[in-house]
Amino acid sequence: MKVAIVGASGAVGQEFLRVLDERNFPMDELLLFGSSRSAGTTYKFRGKDIVVKELKHGDDFKGVDIAFTSAGAGTSKEFAEDITKHGAVMIDNSSAFRMDADVPLVVPEVNAADAQNRPRGIIANPNCTTIQMVVALKPLEKLSHIKRVHVSTYQAASGAGAAAMDELANQYRQIVNGEKPTVEKFAYQLAYNLIPQVDVFTDNGYTKEEMKMHHETRKIMHSDVEVSALCVRVPSLRAHSEAIWIETERPISVEEARAAFEAAEGVVVQDNPEKKEYPMPLFLAGKDPVYVGRIRKDISNPNGFSFWCVSDQIKKGAALNAVQIAEYLIKIKN
């Protein structure tokens, strides 16, 4: 098994190195790629130094079985042919191919089997906010069809990449030292602030991030569900949080929803109001599961249900989900 990571120096790329090691992913060789900025940098993997190669057009992916790509949509589009032409499966973290009809969009807990049909050799990893939401929605959908979702997200700085995480940490340091905070990665200062915009606006007043939650949820769940999202960048460092309201075909009770969450693959319930127990991003960074809490009926709608959901978006929302897809491919091959 020969594996490649494209975008190795990035927030997601670095997480790939950790997740592949942590899960003891079977491989004989690992190749790392980046732009000219990180080419030549060395990263340690399982005690071995691996030098980042510059991503170029050509035959560098000959013999590669699985390529995990996380270097932005433009890079994925430009290099997809080079990556896949010798048979490598490209598991792509960018938005480049997610909505293409001939590219499966996969969250293993929800629609693993879709990964089997990949005519272009590409499998897309969904947007991080969508991944954690559909993992939590799946067990509820089994109870009663979900007709509508309203979701408000609270997205960590690291969702915008490694440099954005550094910018937030730096802003707090600068403010404490009485300096003017540097603002480059976000439209405004994020420290001590909330920014109700993630990605650019589209014609209907929603942002691209919000429309991704609508379209991708429907594709992954094979559902006609309507999703209305409002995405907010918040000054947490890592792990996205989401307040989710759903409307189901028949009313579902707190007890049956809790039991469904508890039995669901990849979901952990943290919900004990008396003990002030609920999921929080500060404590869940670096963890695998999707955590749910604040589980209750929606008092404004007899068929409504509401909960809070937190997951590490670099891990389950990106690297871990992609590695789970690769593990599924290995499992069905053997």
Ligand X SMILES: NC(=O)c1ccc[n+]([C@@H]2O[C@H](COP(=O)([O-])OP(=O)(O)OC[C@H]3O[C@@H](n4cnc5c(N)ncnc54)[C@H](OP(=O)(O)O)[C@@H]3O)[C@@H](O)[C@H]2O)c1
Closer residue to ligand X (CB): 10 or 181: 10
Least distance to ligand X from the beta carbon of 161, Å?
3
Is-catalytic flag, 240? yes
For residue 259, give every residue at least 6 positions away whose Cβ sits within 8 Å of its Cβ, in sequence order, or none. none
Residues 286-325 that bind ligand X (CB under 6 A): 313-314, 317-318
Task: Candidates 128, 213, 252, 267: give the one binding ligand X (CB under 6 A).
Answer: 128
Structure-token pair, residue 112 = 């693993």
Stretch that binds ligand X, among 66-74, 133-141, 184-192, 252-260 (CB under 6 A): 66-74
φ and ψ of 333, to 5 deg: -75, -35
Task: Candidates 16, 43, 75, 118: give the one binding ligand X (CB under 6 A).
Answer: 75
Is-catalytic flag, 128? yes
Task: Return d(Cα 289, Cα 269) in angstroms, integer.
Answer: 10
**Closest listed residue to residue 225, CA positions, set 217, 237, 236:** 217
**Closest listed residue to residue 97, CA positions, set 71, 68, 117, 126:** 126
- For residues 20 to 59, the per-residue mask of contacts with ligand X, x marking binding by CB under 6 A and - elsewhere, is -------------xxx-xx----------------x----
Q: How many CB atoms lie within 10 A of CB 21?
A: 13
Residues 92-111 that bind ligand X (CB under 6 A): 93-94
Closer residue to ligand X (CB): 42 or 253: 42
The residue number with the shortest CB distance to ligand X is 10
Task: Return d(Cα 125, Cα 77) in angstroms, integer.
Answer: 14
**Closest listed residue to residue 237, CA positions, set 170, 290, 293:** 170
Question: Which residues are designated catalytic?
Answer: 128, 240
Interface residues with ligand X (CB under 6 A)? 6-13, 33-35, 37-38, 55, 70-73, 75, 93-94, 128, 158-159, 161-163, 313-314, 317-318
